[in-house]
Amino acid sequence: RDLILQLVAVGVGQYHIEGVILAVVETLRVELIGHISSHSVGRIIYEAGIANDMDLGEKLSYLQLSSDGTSHQKINLEECHMNAINSEGNHTCLFLDVHSTPNHKSETQVKGFQ
C-alpha cells in the first residue's frame, strides 16, 4: 500500500502501477508473488483519501471558511479559502478555489463551498 501511494504521489497513473512494480522487480531480480490489479489500486487510493480526511478532521480544533468576490471584464469571480487552527494552536490559511459565478449573492457564495 505504501509503495502504491508513493508511486501515485509522484505521478504514476492507476493503470500503470502494476507495470512499474513489475519493471522494478525484474530489474532487481526479485521474485514477485501475486499481482495488483488497477481496481485494487483504485480502492487503495480511495481508502487513503478517506483516512486522510479523517486525520485532518481529528487534528483541527477550529475551522473557518470564507470567500471574496470580484468581477473582471463582466465575469464574476469567487475566491474561497479556509482558516484552521490545529490542536497545538498553529494557524494555517489554505487556498481552496477560484471559480466563476453567475452573481455576487450570498446564496451563490454558499453553493461555491459545496
Averaged confidence pLDDT in the chain: 83
* 97 and 83 share one domain: yes
Range of the domain at 39: 2-57
> How many structural domains does the chain have?
2
When mean pLDDT is compared across 13-22, 60-69, 71-80, the lowest value belongs to 60-69
Do residues 89 and 53 both lie within one domain?
no
C-alpha count within 13 angstroms, C-beta hemisphere, residue 108: 13
Residues 1-54 pLDDT 10s: 999 999 999 999 999 999 999 999 999 999 989 888 999 999 999 999 888 877
The Cα–Cα gap between 91 and 67 comes to: 18
Please check whether residues 75 and 92 belong to one and the same domain: yes
